[in-house]
Each structure stands twice: as structure tokens, then as C-alpha cells.
Structure 1
Amino acid sequence: MEEQIAITLNNVSKCFKRYAKPADRLKEILLPNKDYSERFWALQDISLEIHKGQTIGIIGRNGSGKSTLLQIIAGTLTATTGNVNVNGRVSALLELGSGFNPDFTGRQNVFFNARLLGLSQQEIENKFDEIVGFADIGDFIDQPVKTYSSGMFVRLAFAVAVNVEPEILIIDEALAVGDIYFQQKCFDKLAYLREKQTTLLFVSHDMNAVHRLCDRAILLDSGRVSLWSEARQVIDLYEVNLIKHITQLSKIESMEQSDNSNSGFTSNAVSQDQDIDAEIVGSKSKSFDSGKAKVVFAKLLNISDQQVRVIISEQLIKLQIGILFLQSFDDPLIGFQMRDRTGLMIFQTNTFMMNKVIGSVSKNTLVEVIFEFKLPLFEGEYTITVGAANKGKGQWSFEEGLLQVYDSCLLKVSKNQESIIWFGLVNLSPSVRIQKYDNELLKR
């Protein structure tokens, strides 16, 4: 039996008109034979087949067309060209409070929205307590939603969207709002819907959330599909493109600053653009290479400085990284990222974040950095990504990305037989204290 197709898009494109000034829009209405607009193609030639029960992440930088794509699938926008076929009841949470009348109470909006989604009055009444319980906004359910905080808005909107038994659920960044308890409740609900074979489309800038939820993912770039594949591959390429984008912006800023200061800027003041490509390493990973630095070695060592691939959980380990800088740099940084077997990032840091200054390096300088740490991890396999950049700033940003090599090292963590029995991701090494009290003593 063939797998049922939930969503099909054939050569879908969406064009918007942009006007230089408001008067041009009026001129075009009065003079219909003359065009005063500029065409902007938010989506171009999108073709996809999404099977029933799949969870699909849609990622990309701001302006890449993610929200436009979701609105076309949800039916709130019409494609300029191409065909869209959606097979199933759609529930969409496209933006904060979308579809809510601000003057209606929460109760009235629940009934109004659920009716729009195709539920009968009796079905809504049967589900109303479940929706209100999920939203957990108390007596505010009978207050106008214009009095709600943003958190209350999204609680109620999400509660309606996920509790009307949708066959296709579309979520655009809604999980970014709300406290941790509500977010955990949302993830649990989405896991339940996945078990029921609900098709989920999920837009987020939280890559861990995309990795956790999604089977496959779509990377949009300037309105086109850049990659449609397994979620981890798409996330890797997105991160590589982000490094490239940050580097290009930094170059532009440097050029503008040099021009403004009349410092005699020449073409040598900023290095020429390299052809930076994301290449598949092995079968699953991507790498970023600016051509300005390279990894000479990346080794895992035990406390005796012997190279290892297997280590016992909770024991000390050293990560030795050697980066050869092919150009001179003022203040480079070197870091690493560790991921588990599913690709979930569990740790990330670099020399800048650790307040360790490498300082200026000249051309063809090899810099060795040794990170020393314990691994209180659950038994299994882990990979280490190694990277370098120039001029760190903020918590996890830099002026220029130089290198990022995914899966540079493979590490297998084995069980520590001397430790407590535990499950999870990290051993918190808890202590425990037990006390007993006489029942008669407690009554006094």
C-alpha cells in the first residue's frame, strides 16, 4: 500500500508587488495599463511531496520565504504560479494571535476558531475543557484577548491548534514564546500528534528543536529550495551558510569603516572573496572552508596523553586541536562542538568564550589548543566538530568564519562500572541523604 501524500506542491512561486512610494499604488489603480511596481519573488519553483505522518522542518534566514510557503500551504495566500494540493484538515498557527478577534473573549475565540477549522458546535463543546486546560490561563478565558499578554495569546492559540484533531498542523515560530513549562507541554503534545500520524510542518530558528522534532527538513534560500533532505544534513548546511553570511557582512562593514575613515583602503585591506562551498563529508556532514586556515590535527587524548577513541564515562579527556593559519590574523579563536549519535548538539565552546586570548598570528603559524574536560555522558558514540574564526564578539559570534570541520573526531563513551546506575544524557553525580523518623515522634 502506497504511502498517502498529505501535501503536494508543483512549481509553486509567489510574487509580491513593491512600490517605491504609496502614491505609485494609487497611480496604478487609476492607470491600470501602466505598472508602477517592482516585482519581488518570495518563492520560486517550489516542488515538494510531503507524506502523511511526516514531521518537516522549514529553516532559512529571515526573508528566505518560510512564512510565505506556510501561508500558501495553509490557504491564507494564493500562489502566483504552480499548484498546491493539501489532503487533510489543516490547523495553522502562523503568527501570534492570528485569527483571533481582539474584542472577543478567549472563550468566544476558541469557538470561532474551531468552527473555522471545521469542527461542529458539539465537537467544540466536547473539547473545550481540554483546550482551556492546556492553555492554563485561568479566568482570563472570559476576558477580551486584547488584554492578554503575548504568552497568554500563544498559549490559547496553540491550545486550539493542537486540540482540534488536525490531520496537518502548521507552526510558525510559536514554540519560541512561553515559559519552559509550557514549551515542555507543547513538545509532549507534538510527540503525541506524531504518534497519531499527524503531518507537522515546523518553522523555527531553534536548530535543536528542529532536530528533535523533524524527520526531514527544507532549507530555503532567497525563495528557492537549497536542500530537501534528512534534518541533520539540512541543519549543517544552514549553519555553514550562516557562517558565510556573517563573514560577508563583516567584510562589508570593514570596507565601509575604511571608506569613512579615509584610511587609504586598497583591495588588499580586506581579503578577496573565496569560493566557499559546503561539501558533504562522508554521507551526513557538511564542512565550511574559507581557504584561510586548515585543521592539521584533532586528537582525543587520555590523562597519559595517549590517543584514544574510547573513554570511560566521567573520566578526564583532552581534545588537542592544531590549526594552521594560512594568513595573518589579529585575534583568532578556536573551538569545538560535541554532538550525540542523533546529531543533537550537547556542548559548544571556544577560546574566546573561555576568555583565553590567542592573540595575533602571522601567516603559516600553527596554533595548538588543548581543551581538558570530563565526560559525564551516557554510554554511546559522540562526534566532535572543530572550528576557527577571527575576532570573537558576543556569546557565540565573530567577524569572520575561517573553518568548520564537522565530525573531526569520533568518540565512544563506555559505562563507568564504579558509578551509580543512571539514565539520561549527563550524569549529575547526585548525593543522596536518607532519614527515618519514628511515627510517634512526628505526632508530638
Structure 2
Amino acid sequence: MSEIAISLKNISKCFKRYHHPIDRLKEILLPGKSRADQFWALRDINLEIPKGQTFGIVGSNGSGKSTLLQIIAGTLTPTSGEVVVNGRISALLELGSGFNPEFTGRQNVFFNGRLLGLSQKEIEDKFDPITSFADIGDFIDQPVKTYSSGMYVRLAFAVAINVDPDILIVDEALSVGDAKFQLKCFLKLKKLQEKGVTVLFVSHDSNSIKRYCQKAMLLNQGQKIIETLPNVVINHYTRLLFPEDEKNTVPNPKQELASSLSNLSEQRRTLEYRYGSHRGEIKDIRIENHEGRETLCFTSCERMIARLKVLVKDGVVNPLFAMTLKDSKGEDIYVTNTYFKNIDIPPLTAETLVEITFEQYLMVCPGNYFLSFGFVSLEEGTVFPIDRRYDVINLKVIPSTNDLSQGLVNLNSKITVKIEESTCVVVNS
């Protein structure tokens, strides 16, 4: 356990829901009869997070994410199960928790620091770095209830990261800050990662989960669906976000768990994650270079052509075809589709064969990349997946001649150097 930061064994949490306020009083005065419905926010969660790992948690609203974080942070007691936390926790949970609105920002900094186990001297030494990072000026001596949501989260995050935590918990709060502050926070997260701080990160931003986390977990209806690499988890999460057919149904968590494990086994061999209503099928995918030759290896900035053959099995009123390019961690680099490109496709009837071509230049630096393709229907603003094939193609991009530029995208810069010889004019007098 010395190398484990957080250990959860069979964690479950049940809340009571009363139909009428007086039912709670009746239950107190007349014990022995429950007058409430049981709501299980979490069921049998098992999890071990090693020290120094950045771990992501994803799931739809109401999936149990915030409840789980509160249990780990110690602000909520589980109904059953065992929680073991090794190290000092600093938690930035939902906006509004942790600060007394009647206290000033300065008072809240000292109050929270003492709660986290720091001495008065330690807080005084950290006060200037906290206020510098928060950058809220004279508002530090004003009551927190007068703060905007952005000012509140800046101060809360500044406190959380400057108390030398062993474990940092961040729950969606960063989405409140402006773009400049978010960048500042993520740069600080990178420094904490380098110092070996364990980070528990919850966000609806899929790319942030892929970018910063080494591992992730998907929660749905209080149950753990899958725990593995972030890109695989996000693929499953996306699957849950969209209904497969017009009935708008979402799979039973137990069925999804079995399906996830089965698909994960398949992914170890092919890397592809595929789902949809089966009203159509992407039957053939061909990747060509600028010469029309089939290949999966390209030179940086070379033209690539992706050709798809799609069989429509059932009528589709508003069809949409999409392509996504991801980097090696699964982060989206480029997303396009027929809707974004304002291509109007007429309704498709059953047994229709459709050929789609995507042409683009691979303006990326050398590395490994993945292509995903999708066939969906778009009806009244809702996307219904028909055949989604995530990470179906693995591309290799190699450097072009004499170009060792680094980064993610390749802007194919043209550099011109002009040297003028200096002229010395001597004036004889």
C-alpha cells in the first residue's frame, strides 16, 4: 500500500429521498418504518490509484462522479466499503464548497490552510504565492460573497495547489475560469505532475482527459463501466452519450460492462472501437497517397485521400458522414463532416451504396496518428450513430526531406534568410 495513493474497496453510497418534508420528521418520531425511497449513487466501486498518477473520471451528469470525489476527499461517508488515502488531499470540488461566503478572501485562505494541516507560519509563507496566482487584486480583503464565479475559482485553485498536496482533486471547476486562467492552471498541473503529485481529474472535456491523464475510468448510473487508457475510456463514454436508434435507449450498465470488456479484448488486437444501430455499414476503407497508391505511411504535409464505401441497410432521412484525425494519445486534431462542410445529402433508401471521399493534406509533424470514421443520422439536432468506427486506421507520418520541425501541427513554414554585407564608408578629410 506504500505505493498506492488512493484505494477504494466495494464503495457504495445510498441516499434517502423523501416524497414530502414531513416524512423525514415522521421517520424520526416513529422509528422502525422507512418512509423514504433509496437512491444508490454508487455501487461496489473498486479502484487503486498509484502515487504520482494522473487519473481521469468521466461520466454523464448524475453518474456518481461528484459523490465519489467527496468520499475520497472525506467530506462524505460511504454507506459501505473501505477508503484508504495515503497523503494530504487538496480538493477543488464544485463551485461554492470550501469557502465561507461571509469571510474575506484572506480569511478563507488562512481558514482553509489550517483545515489542511498547515501551521500559521506555513500559511503566511505561502500567502504571497497564493494571491499572486489568484490575481484578484484588492478583492482579497473583500467578502467572498461579493466575488464573481471566475474570481472565486481563481482563489480556490490557488489555495489548492499551493498547500503542497500529495493528492490534488479537481472537479470541473476550471471550466469557470477564462481561457488565460485555464492555461495558467494546466501549466501548473504539469509542474505538479513532474513533482510526483497524484491528480484526480474530472472533466467533460474529453481532450483534456486524454492530454493529461495516464489512466481513466468511466462511471454510469453509479457503476464503474471500464478502467483503462484514456482514449479507450473516452470512446466508451462517447458511445453512452448518443442513442443508437430513434428509441433513444441507453444500455443497461451491466450489459455495457460486459460489452466493454468484450470490446476491450478486441481492441487489444485491432485498436478499433465500433458501435451503431446497424442501419448501415462502413464496409470498405481505402487510404491513398497523392499518387493514388494505397498506403498507411505518409510524409509530413503530403496529400492523403480516404475513400469509404457505405452500404445503407435501412432508410436514412438526414445522413451525415464524418472523419476525425487523432494523435497517438487519442486527442482530436481535426474533425470534419458533411454537415460542417455544408454538403447537402438527400435521403438514402435501403440497399443504397454510397462512396465518400475525404481529401486533405496531413499538416502534422512526424508521429503515429489514428483515423476514425462515422455514419450517423442527424434528426432535430440529435445525432443517432449508425456505424461509428473509432481508431480504425493507424497512420505513420515521417519527416519530409531536411525538415526536423517539432510539435503537433506542421505549418510548412518557408524560411528566407537574407544577409546584406555591411558597407563601410570612409570619408577622407
The one-letter code matched in structure 2 to 1:251 is K
Pairwise CA distance, 1:416: 2.3
The one-letter code matched in structure 1 to 2:200 is L
Distance 1:436 1:175, change over 3 A: farther
Does residue 247 of structure 2 align to residue 251 of structure 1? yes
Aligned position for 2:425: none
Pairwise CA distance, 1:311: 2.0
The one-letter code matched in structure 1 to 2:356 is V
Aligned position for 2:360: 373
Aligned position for 1:184: 183
Does residue 34 of structure 2 align to residue 35 of structure 1? yes
Q: Matches of residues 284-363 of structure 1 in structure 2 within 5 Å? A: 284-363=271-350
What SS class does the counterpart of residue 338 from structure 1 fall into? Answer: strand
| Aligned partners of 1:106 and 1:143 also within 8 Å | yes
Aligned position for 2:101: 102
Deviations 1:338-375 (A, max 9, x none): 11122221111211121112211111211111111111
| Aligned partners of 2:365 and 2:409 also within 8 Å | yes
Distance 1:436 1:415, change over 3 A: closer
Aligned residues: 409
Q: Matches of residues 142-221 of structure 1 in structure 2 within 5 Å? A: 142-221=141-220
Does residue 371 of structure 2 align to residue 384 of structure 1? yes
**Equivalent position to 2:384, from 397, 400, 413:** 400
Pairwise CA distance, 1:252: 4.9
| Aligned partners of 2:13 and 2:80 also within 8 Å | yes
| Aligned partners of 2:273 and 2:392 also within 8 Å | no
The one-letter code matched in structure 2 to 1:414 is I
Pairwise CA distance, 1:221: 1.2
| Aligned partners of 2:300 and 2:398 also within 8 Å | yes
Paired with 1:197 and 1:393, the residues of 2 have a C-alpha distance of 47
Pairwise CA distance, 1:28: 1.8
Aligned position for 1:266: none
Distance 1:152 1:432, change over 3 A: farther
Aligned position for 2:228: 229
What SS class does the counterpart of residue 275 from structure 2 fall into? Answer: strand
Aligned position for 2:409: 426
Unaligned regions of 5+ residues in structure 2, if any?
250-254, 423-429
Paired with 1:285 and 1:22, the residues of 2 have a C-alpha distance of 51
Pairwise CA distance, 1:335: 0.6
Q: CA RMSD in A?
A: 2.3
Deviations 1:190-222 (A, max 9, x none): 111111111111111111111111111111111
Unaligned regions of 5+ residues in structure 1, if any?
254-274, 439-444
Distance 1:371 1:50, change over 3 A: same
What SS class does the counterpart of residue 217 from structure 1 fall into? Answer: strand
Aligned position for 1:417: 401
Q: Which stretch has the larger CA shift, 279-288 or 105-114?
A: 279-288
| Aligned partners of 1:352 and 1:392 also within 8 Å | no
What SS class does the counterpart of residue 362 from structure 1 fall into? Answer: coil
Aligned position for 1:134: 133
The one-letter code matched in structure 2 to 1:170 is I
Aligned position for 1:78: 77
Paired with 1:357 and 1:302, the residues of 2 have a C-alpha distance of 27
Pairwise CA distance, 1:75: 0.5
The one-letter code matched in structure 2 to 1:38 is D
**Hey, which bits of structure 1, 4+ residues long, moved more than 6 A?**
431-438
| Aligned partners of 1:299 and 1:409 also within 8 Å | no
Paired with 1:431 and 1:133, the residues of 2 have a C-alpha distance of 40
Paired with 1:337 and 1:122, the residues of 2 have a C-alpha distance of 53
Aligned position for 2:12: 13
Paired with 1:216 and 1:315, the residues of 2 have a C-alpha distance of 33
Paired with 1:131 and 1:94, the residues of 2 have a C-alpha distance of 18
Pairwise CA distance, 1:427: 2.2
Deviations 1:273-330 (A, max 9, x none): xx99552343144221322221111122223332222222222221111111111111
Deviations 1:396-442 (A, max 9, x none): xx4311111122222222222276x532111234567899999xxxx
The one-letter code matched in structure 1 to 2:267 is G
Aligned position for 2:67: 68
Paired with 2:383 and 2:322, the residues of 1 have a C-alpha distance of 15
What SS class does the counterpart of residue 298 from structure 1 fall into? Answer: strand
| Aligned partners of 1:333 and 1:392 also within 8 Å | no
Paired with 2:330 and 2:170, the residues of 1 have a C-alpha distance of 23
The one-letter code matched in structure 1 to 2:195 is K
| Aligned partners of 2:308 and 2:357 also within 8 Å | yes
Deviations 1:44-68 (A, max 9, x none): 1111122111111111111110000
| Aligned partners of 1:3 and 1:51 also within 8 Å | no
| Aligned partners of 2:298 and 2:397 also within 8 Å | yes
Distance 1:150 1:322, change over 3 A: same
Q: Report sequence identity in percent.
A: 50
Q: Taking structure 1 as the reference length, what is the TM-score of the superposition? A: 0.87
Paired with 1:345 and 1:408, the residues of 2 have a C-alpha distance of 14
Does residue 267 of structure 2 align to residue 282 of structure 1? yes
What SS class does the counterpart of residue 291 from structure 1 fall into? Answer: coil
Does residue 151 of structure 2 align to residue 120 of structure 1? no
Q: Which stretch has the larger CA shift, 163-172 or 289-298?
A: 289-298
| Aligned partners of 1:340 and 1:382 also within 8 Å | yes
